[in-house]
Amino acid sequence: MRTFEEIRETILAGLGNQPCDLKLENVRLVNVCSREIYSTNIYIHNGRVVSISPEADLKSFQTISCGGKIAIPGLIDTHMHFETTMLSPEALSAVVVPKGTTTLCADLMEIANVAGEAGIQAMLDSINALPYRMLVEVSSRVPTAPGLETTGATLGAKEVRQILDWPESISLGELDPSKILFVKDEYLQKIADTLSRRKIVNGHAIGRMGQELNVYASAGISDDHECVNAEEMIARLRLGMRVLIREGSTERNADALLRAAIENDVPLDGLCFCTDDKHPSEIREEGHINYIVRRAIELGMKPVDAIRIATINAARHIRMDDEIGSITPGRRADILLMDSLERVEPDMVFYEGKLVASDGALTQACTIQQYPAWILDTVSLKKPITEESFAVAAKAGDSNRVKAIELIGLQIINKSFIADLPVYNGRICVDVDADILKLAVVERYGKNGNVGVGFVKGFQLKRGALAFSTSHDHHNIVVVGTNDLDMSAAVNEVVRLHGGLAAADDGHAIASMSLPIGGLMSDKCAEDVITELDALNRAARQLGCPMKAPFMTLSFVSLPTVPELGLTDMGLIDVMAHQLIPLVIDE
C-alpha cells in the first residue's frame, strides 16, 4: 500500500523539486494501456514510475542510456505452485527473474497439505529478500479429497479466513467442482469469506461443461487454468470467467489455446498466462511466462497483445492493476529492457526500480534462508515398506480384469480403461510388454501406514521403478514400477532422504535427489537441482521411460481431482463421482 510520504515524494519528484532515483533514457515503451509503442524516457523514484512523458526533463541521481531498447512491464504468472519446481522461493529467483517474471501468484497448497498454516508462513519468511513479488492464492482444499486421502495437515474455514487477511493474499486458491456441485458448506463459506474481502476465487474446472459449469461459475469462481481445447476455453469466456492459458512441464496447453484464440478472433481481455507446474530445467531451457508470450507471437498474435495478456490483463484479473502490470505513473517499476519485441528475452530486469537481473543472470545471488528443523523432517513411515507392501490379491483364474489409468500425452488428464492382467501365485501381476505397470501411493506422515495400489499405462518402463514424495495434492510417496522389489527400493530411498526422488533397479537405488523442505523442495541452488534432476531423468530413460519430465507426470498421475481416475493411499478414486472404487472387476 502507498503511504502518505511515498505519494508526496512521487509528486515532488515529478514536479522537479527533488531528483528521481533513476532515469531510463531513450527507450521504446510498450504502453499496454494504450497499445502503443513510442520513444520516451522513464523516471523512477522510491521503486515507482514517476513519469513516462517524452517532454519530461527531470533530474535523477542515476541515468541509464538504453539506446532505444524496448521496455515492457514485468511479466506475471497468474497461477503456479513453486513447490513443484522443487526449488525454495529464494533459489527459484535465479531461474524465473532473468526470464522477466517479476510477479508470481502462488497457490501454496503443496506445503499446506504437508505442514498447514505453519508451512505457508515458513515459505513467506523469505519474501522481503526476494527479487520478485510473491502473492498468495490461499489454499482452498487442504485436503483436496477429504475422506479419500491422508494428508499432513488441514486448513479449515477458520484458518483460510485468517490467511486471507494477510497482506500477501490475493485470492482463494483453485477450487475443484466437486466442492460446489456436491454443495459442501465448508467450501461455500470459504468462497463467501473471500468475496466479502473483494478478492477473487481461482478455479480448477477440468472436464466440466454445460449446466455444471454454469453452476460452478455462479458460486463466484473467477477463472480456470485447466482448459485443454477451444471448446472449453470459449465456454468459460462466455460465462465471464477468465482463462489462464497454461504451459507447464506436462500440461502443454498453450499452443492449442493460442491457435484457437487467434483463429476464432477471441477477445483477449479474458486471457492470462500461467505455468502451474514447471521444472527448473525446462524454465532454463525454454523460458517461463516469456516463453508463452513468444509462442503467441510466433503463432500470429500481435506482440503488444501477447504482452498485454502477460501483464495488464493479469494485473486487472488479480485486482492489482493500480500497483503492477503497466509502466505508468504511480505503478511499481517492474520493467524489462530487451532488443527484440518478438524474442522476449530481457537484457535487463528491474524490480521495483532496482536492477535485479542482467544478461540472463541475477545481479546478486538470493541467499537461501535456514529453514526450521521441523519442516526438514516430514517423512515418517508407520510400518516398513517391503515387496509385500505392493501385492494385489487376485480372484480366481489365470488372469484378472482391473480398472487402470491410461496417461494422455502432454496433458494432466487421464483415461480409465479395463486391463486383463496375468495372475501368478494368487497375485495380480504387471504386463511390461503391454506397458501396464504397477502404481502405488504410500502414506508418509506416520499416521496409518496405508498403501494404495493400482495399475497404469504410459510410462513405458522396461525395468526398475521411480518414486517421488510429491504426489498431488496429498503428497504421500508415489511410485511406479515393473516389479515390487524395485518399487520398495525406490520408496525406501525417498524415505532415507526425508523426501525426494529416486530411481531403482535390481533392488537398489541407482539415482536420487533429496527434497528435505517439506519433502517437496531442495535446500540447494537452482543449478544443483537442475543437474541432479537431469541425472534422474537420464536414469528413467535408461529404465525405458522416454518422457521428457517423467517425475512431473508421476506427481500428477494419482491426483484424485483430475479425470478420470486417481489413486491415493486409500485406493482407486473415480474422480467425477468423487468416491473410492474397487480395483479388481468382478466377472
pLDDT digits (tens, 9 = 90+) for 473-526: 999 999 999 999 999 999 999 999 999 999 999 999 999 999 999 999 999 999
**Amino acid 576: pLDDT:** 87
Q: Are residues 412 and 264 in the same domain?
A: no
In a shared domain, residues 412 and 319:
no
In this structure, the answer to whether residues 402 and 489 fall within a common structural domain is yes
- Same domain flag for 275 and 400: no
- Whether residues 294 and 412 share a domain: the answer is no
Coil, strand, or helix at residue 430? coil
- If asked whether residues 415 and 271 sit together in one domain, one would say no
| Contact (Cβ atoms closer than 8 angstroms) between residue 86 and residue 520 | yes
Which value, to the nearest 10 degrees, does the dihedral of the CA atoms of residues 312, 315, 319, 322 take? -70
Identify the CA nearest to 566 among candidates 419, 407, 381.
407
Rounded distance, CA 276 to CA 186, Å? 25
Residues 155 and 116: their CA atoms lie apart, in Å, by 6
Check: CB of residue 54 under 8 Å from CB of residue 24. no
Alpha carbons 322 and 328: distance in angstroms, whole number: 9
pLDDT of residue 206: 86
The CA-CA-CA angle for residues 251, 253, 255, to 5°, reads 140
Spatial distance between the Cα atoms of 407 and 416, rounded to a whole number of angstroms: 9
Q: Is residue 55 part of a domain?
A: no
Distance, CA of 571 to CA of 147 (rounded, Å): 11
Residue 344 belongs to a domain: no
Q: In whole angstroms, what separates CA 424 from the centre of its chain?
A: 41
CB 84 within 8 A of CB 269: no
Same domain as 303, residue 207 = yes
Mean pLDDT of 199-204: 97
Task: Provide the CA 372 distance to its chain's centre, in angstroms.
Answer: 24
Whole-number Cα distances in Å, 321 to 193, 203, 242, 311, 506:
22, 21, 16, 9, 56
- Evaluate if residue 16 carries a pLDDT over 90: yes
- Do the domain assignments include residue 71? no
- Among 326, 343, 362, identify where a domain stops: 326
Q: Is the pLDDT of residue 4 over 90?
A: yes
| Number of structural domains the chain divides into | 2
Give 36's contacts (C-beta < 8 A, 6+ positions apart).
304
Amino acid at 570: M
pLDDT tens for each residue of 375-396: 999 999 999 999 999 999 999 9
How far is the C-alpha of 395 from the C-alpha of 506, rounded, in Å? 29
The answer as to whether 307 is a domain residue is yes
- Spatial distance between the Cα atoms of 346 and 332, rounded to a whole number of angstroms: 18
The residue among 298, 326, 354 that closes a domain is 326
Q: What is the side-by-side strand order in the sheet with 414-424? A: 427-428, 414-424, 399-407, 451-457, 436-442, 477-481, 465-468, 500-505, 508-514
* Amino acid letter, 453: V
SS3 label, residue 584: strand
Per-residue pLDDT for 409 more than 90? no
Joined together, the cell numbers standing for residue 232 give: 472449453
Q: Is residue 111 part of a domain?
A: yes
As a 3-state breakdown, the chain gives helix, strand, coil percent values, each rounded to 5, of: 30, 30, 40
CA-to-CA distance for 560 and 573, rounded, in angstroms? 6
Q: How confident is the model at residue 586 (pLDDT cuts 50, 70, 90)?
A: confident
Residue 161 and residue 258 share a domain: yes
Q: Which of 326, 355, 387 is where one domain is finished?
A: 326
Residue 69: helix, strand or coil by DSSP? strand
Q: Assess whether pLDDT exceeds 80 at residue 410.
A: no
pLDDT in tens, 518-556: 999 999 999 999 999 999 999 999 999 999 999 999 999
Tens-place pLDDT, residues 273-329: 999 999 999 999 999 999 999 999 999 999 999 999 999 999 999 999 999 999 999
* Residues 446, 448, 452: CA angle, nearest 5 degrees: 105
CA 513/CA 305 separation, integer angstroms: 41
**DSSP letters along 20-57, please?**
EEEEEEEEEEEETTTTEEEEEEEEEETTEEEE--TT--
What percent of the chain has pLDDT above 70? 100
- DSSP per-residue string spanning 477-530: EEEEESSHHHHHHHHHHHHHTTSEEEEEETTEEEEEEE--BTTTB-SS-HHHHH
DSSP symbol at 74: P
Range of the domain at 532: 374-580
Same domain, 135 and 257: yes
In this structure, the answer to whether residues 314 and 393 fall within a common structural domain is no
**Residues 5-14, mean pLDDT to the nearest whole number:** 96
Instruction: Spell out a b/e string for 415-435, using b for 16 or more CB atoms within 10 Å of the CB, else e.
Output: ebeebebebeeeebbbbeeeb
Report if residue 97 sits inside a domain: yes
- Digit-coded pLDDT (tens) for 513-524: 999 999 999 999
Same domain, 123 and 229: yes
| Whether the predicted pLDDT of 587 surpasses 80 | no
Report helix, strand or coil for 273: strand
Residue 545 lies in a domain: yes
Whether residue 147 contacts residue 391, with contact meaning beta carbons closer than 8 Å, is answered with no
Tell me, what's the pLDDT at 66?
98
Element (H, E) at 238: helix 230-238
**Grid cell in block for residue 227:** 482448459
33: left (phi over 0), alpha (psi -120 to 50) or beta: alpha
Is residue 463 within 8 Å of 505, Cβ to Cβ?
A: yes
The b/e string for 213-240 (b: 16+ C-beta within 10 A; e otherwise) is beebbebbbbbbbbbbebebbbbbbeee
Cα→Cα distances 200→103, 149, 390, 520, Å:
17, 27, 43, 27
Q: pTM higher than 0.85 for the full model?
A: yes
Is there a domain that residue 154 lies in? yes
Find, among 176, 192, 220, 223, the residue nearest to 78 by Cα: 223
For residue 440, the cross-strand partners are: 453, 479
Share of the chain above pLDDT 90, in %: 94
Looking up residue 111, the CATH number of its domain turns out to be 3.20.20.140
User: In terms of domains, do 395 and 268 share one?
Assistant: no
- In contact, 576 and 562? CB cutoff 8 Å: no
Please give the Cα distance from 159 to 165 (Å, whole number): 10
